[in-house]
A and B are shown apart, each in its own frame.
Chain A
Amino acid sequence: MSLQGLQSLLDGILMGGVYALAALGLSLIFGVLKITNFAHGAMMTVGMYVVFALGNDLGLNPYLALPFAMVLMFLIGFLIQRFPIHYIEHAPTHNQLLLTLGMAYILENVLLVIFTPNYQTLTVKGFEKAWRIGSLTFAPAKLIAFGVVIIVTGCVYYLLYMTNTGKSIRASAQNETGAKLMGINVRNIRAIAFGIGAVCTGIAGGLLTPIMSIYPTLGETFQLKCFVITVLGGMGNLWGALVSGLIIGVVESLSGYYLGGSWSEMVIYGIFILILFLRPTGLFGRGNRREN
C-alpha cells in the first residue's frame, strides 16, 4: 500500500471512530428498544449545537462542554422515549418511522429558530496543525474524538453489562414480560436506555463540532450511514457497532481515494444491501434480528 493509501486508511479509521459512536447510539435504540429512529441525525445535530453554543458563547473548550451536552442529551432522549415513542412502541414500523421523522423535523427546526441556519465553525486553539509521525498526519480533533469514542464505548459497555440498570436494560430488551414480572419498571428503563443512546449520539455530534462547519440539517447526512453501521455490526451489539464503524470509515476513505468520493457512497450502500441480504444479524452474528 502506498503512503497515500496508508494515510487514507488512517483517516478512515479516525473518522470511523466517530461514525461508530454515532451508530452506537442508534444501535442501542434500534437493537434494544426496537425503534427505527429517524430522528437520530437530528439528535446528533443537537449535540453539535450544544457544544458549539457552550464553546462559542461561553468560550468553553469543546471537550469540556461534552459533559453538559451529555446531560442535556440524556434528558432529551429520556423525554422523547417517555412521551411520544412510548405510545407507539408496539405499533408497526412505519408508524415509528413517521413519528421519529416528525421528531426530526421538530428538532432540526427548533435549532434553526434558535441558532439561525448560518454555518457555524468552532476552532480549537492549538489544533490548527495536524500532528505528524513520519510522513503520516493526524488531525488532532479526530484523534481526540477517537480516544473519546473508545472511552465512551467502554463506559457504555460497563454500564450495560456490569450495572443493575444495564442488566435491566438488556433484560427488558430481551424479554419484556419477563422483565416486568421481575419488578423492573420497563417504561422507565426504556426511557433511560433511549437517554443513553441519545448521549452517545450527542457526544458523536459534539466531537464533530470542531471538525466540520455545522448547520441545522447536517445530521441528516449521518442518518443512513448510522443505519448501515448498526446493521453491519448487529443491532444492539456494542463492539459490533465499534468495529463496523471503523470498517465503514475505512471503506469510505479508501473507496474515496481509489474510486472518488462520488462512488464511495455507492460502495457503502452496496455493502449495506449485501449485508442485509446475506447476514442480517450483522457481521458478528450476535445482533437480534427483528421481524414483524
Chain B
Amino acid sequence: MKTKKVEQGTLLVLLLMAVIYPFLSDRYMLSVGISVLLMALLGQSWNIMSGYAGQFSFGHAAFFGLGAYASSILYVDHGVSPWIGMIAGMAVAALVGVLIGFLSFRYKLRGDFFALVTLAFAEILRVLFNNTKALKAATGILIPYKDVWSEFQFANDRIFYFILLAMVIAATIFIGLMSRRKFGVCLIAIKENQEAAGSLGVPVLKYKLLAMAISAAIAAMAGTFYAQYYGFIDPTVVFSAAISVEAIVPCIIGGAGTLGGPLLGALIIVPLKELSNNLFEGVNGVNMIIYGVLIVLFVVFCRDGIYGTVIRRLKGARS
C-alpha cells in the first residue's frame, strides 16, 4: 500500500507545484509551463492507449489535429464556441480512433505494424486537410484574438495555464480511476497477454476500442487548446509527426503505463530542452544534438522511465 501512497504523494506534490508555479513565474516561464502541461496532456492521452493497453501509437497527431480543426472550423466558420467545438472535436477524434482501432484490430495488427498504421493515418489526414479547400487547405486557420471566456480566449496566459492544468488533472484523475477499476486491470491483462485475457472472458476488442476512444478524445482536447492558445493552425503544424513524437516522449522518459510517468516526463524533458536551447545559442544545432543525446541516454539507462524506475525500486526494496 505504501507504493500507492508514494504515487499519490508524488501526484499531490506535482499538483501543488503546478498550482504555485504560475505565481512565481514570468511570461516566458509560464509559456514553458504551458509547453510542459501540453506535453503532459498529450502524454497522458498516449499513455492510456499505448502505455496501459499496449497498443503503440505513432500517429497521435491525427487525433490532436482533428480536435484542433473541428473546434477551429466550427468557431471561425460557424461561430460555435470552442468550448462546444472541443466536445465535438473529442467526439470526432474518438470516432476516428475507434475506426482506426476497429480496422487495425480486425486485421490483427500489433506492435510496429499498428504503430505504422497510425502513422499512415496521421499522414493521410495531413495530406487530405492540406489539399481540401473546404477545410481551408494549406492556408490554415487563424483564431480571432479576443478576451472572451465564452469563446475560450483570454488575454491573460495564466488563465490558459489553469485551464490546461485542469485538463491535465481531469485526464489524470480519469485515467487513475479507470485504471483502478476492472477496465484498467483488463487493459493491463490485454497488454500482457491478449490471448490469455480473451480466454478469461475479457472483452478484448471492446476494451481496446474504448481505450483508443478515450485516448483520441484527450488528444483532441489538447488540439483544441493548442489552437486557442497559439491562435493559428495549419495541417503541417497540427498533423505533423512532431506532435506524435511529443505524445510519446514524456511517457518513455517518465514511464509508460504509470499514472505519474507522463507528467514527470514532461516536467523533466521540456525544461531540459529549453535549457539546452538557452545554453547553446551560439552554434546552431548543438541544442538539438544535446536533446538527442538526452533522449538516447534516458532510453538506454532508464528503460522503465524515471517514474517507472522509482516505483520498481520501491517494490524491489521489499524483496
CB contact between B284 and one of A36, A91, A113 (< 8 Å): that residue: A113
Known contacts: A84-B300, A103-B296. The answer to whether A292 contacts B120 by CB under 8 A is: no
Across the interface, which residues of B come within 8 angstroms of A276, CB to CB? 107, 109, 113, 116-117, 120
Which residues of A does B touch, CB under 8 Å?
A: 30, 36, 84, 87-88, 91-95, 97-99, 101-106, 108-110, 112-113, 117, 216, 224, 227, 231, 262-263, 265-266, 269-270, 272-273, 276-278, 280, 289-292
Asked whether, in the complex, the Cβ of A106 is within 8 Å of the Cβ of B292, the reply is yes
CB contact between B124 and one of A99, A270, A290 (< 8 Å): that residue: A270
Question: Does B18 sit within 8 A of A, measured CB to CB?
Answer: no
Complex alpha-carbon distance, A262 and B116, angstroms: 21
Question: Does B139 sit within 8 A of A, measured CB to CB?
Answer: no
Say how far A107's CB is from chain B's closest CB, in angstroms. Answer: 8
Known contacts: A88-B303, A227-B116. The answer to whether A265 contacts B123 by CB under 8 A is: yes
Asked whether, in the complex, the Cβ of B112 is within 8 Å of the Cβ of A224, the reply is no
Asked whether, in the complex, the Cβ of A94 is within 8 Å of the Cβ of B120, the reply is no
Asked whether, in the complex, the Cβ of A93 is within 8 Å of the Cβ of B56, the reply is yes
Asked whether, in the complex, the Cβ of B56 is within 8 Å of the Cβ of A105, the reply is no
Asked whether, in the complex, the Cβ of B284 is within 8 Å of the Cβ of A277, the reply is no
Across the interface, which residues of B come within 8 angstroms of A277, CB to CB? 103-104, 107, 109, 117
Asked whether, in the complex, the Cβ of B128 is within 8 Å of the Cβ of A266, the reply is yes
Say how far A288's CB is from chain B's closest CB, in angstroms. Answer: 12
Asked whether, in the complex, the Cβ of B292 is within 8 Å of the Cβ of A112, the reply is no
Among listed B144-152, B215-223, B244-252, interface-contacting one? B244-252
Asked whether, in the complex, the Cβ of A94 is within 8 Å of the Cβ of B252, the reply is yes
How many of B's residues come within 8 Å of A, CB to CB? 45
16 A-B residue pairs with Cβ-Cβ distance under 8 Å, sorted by A, are A88-B303, A92-B256, A93-B112, A94-B56, A98-B245, A99-B300, A106-B288, A117-B284, A224-B119, A227-B119, A262-B127, A262-B131, A266-B127, A273-B121, A276-B113, A280-B109
Asked whether, in the complex, the Cβ of B111 is within 8 Å of the Cβ of A105, the reply is no
Nearest B residue to A91 by beta-carbon distance?
B303
Question: Does B291 sit within 8 A of A, measured CB to CB?
Answer: yes
CB contact between B112 and one of A36, A262, A272 (< 8 Å): that residue: A36
Nearest A residue to B122 by beta-carbon distance?
A269
Across the interface, which residues of B come within 8 angstroms of A109, CB to CB? 285-286, 288-289, 292
Complex alpha-carbon distance, A133 and B115, angstroms: 44
Asked whether, in the complex, the Cβ of A103 is within 8 Å of the Cβ of B292, the reply is yes
Question: Does B268 sit within 8 A of A, measured CB to CB?
Answer: no
Asked whether, in the complex, the Cβ of A102 is within 8 Å of the Cβ of B109, the reply is no
Across the interface, which residues of B come within 8 angstroms of A98, CB to CB? 245, 248-249, 252, 295, 299
Asked whether, in the complex, the Cβ of A112 is within 8 Å of the Cβ of B299, the reply is no
Across the interface, which residues of A come within 8 angstroms of B120, CB to CB? 224, 269, 272-273, 276
Complex alpha-carbon distance, A30 and B115, angstroms: 14
Complex alpha-carbon distance, A289 and B111, angstroms: 10
Complex alpha-carbon distance, A276 and B109, angstroms: 8
B87-133: which have CB < 8 Å to A? 103-104, 107, 109-113, 115-117, 119-121, 123-124, 127-128, 130-131
Contact with A along B135-161 (1 / 0, CB 8 A): 000000000000000000000000000
Across the interface, which residues of A come within 8 angstroms of B252, CB to CB? 94-95, 98
Question: Does B20 sit within 8 A of A, measured CB to CB?
Answer: no
Complex alpha-carbon distance, A216 and B289, angstroms: 13
